Amino acid sequence: MTIICINGYDQPDHCEHCGKRLIHGVRTNTHGIIGADCFVKLIKADKKRFSGNGKPSASMVRDFAKMVERRSPQRLSEMGYSPRHFQFEAA
């Protein structure tokens, strides 16, 4: 079981997973900087956490990345987010 963590937000030239040009990038612990769509493709569905197909939307992944980048761990905790909110199981 591999865990992919969202470690921040970046504005890179391209996705390190598929090579597509990016405007918004999600910094991860295992795959470098990738696009939110690639991130959603890489993770396993978790119907207990997310409704519908069991995965967060690409816009939600981008929002998570921006929150991790711009907020301190203490502020995220005050907002009700723990490190678990930014960890996903790889498919």
Is 75 buried (19+), middle (13-18) or exposed (0-12) by CB count in 10 A? exposed
HSE value, Cβ hemisphere, 13 Å, CA-based, for 20: 12
Total of domains in the chain: 1
Dump pLDDT digits (tens) for 22-52.
Answer: 999 999 999 999 999 999 999 999 999 998 9
Dump pLDDT digits (tens) for 45-61.
Answer: 999 999 899 999 999 99
pLDDT over 90 for what percent of the chain? Answer: 95
Look at residue 37 and give its three-state secondary structure. helix
pTM exceeds 0.85: yes
Domain that holds residue 58: 3-89
Return d(Cα 23, Cα 82) in angstroms, integer.
27
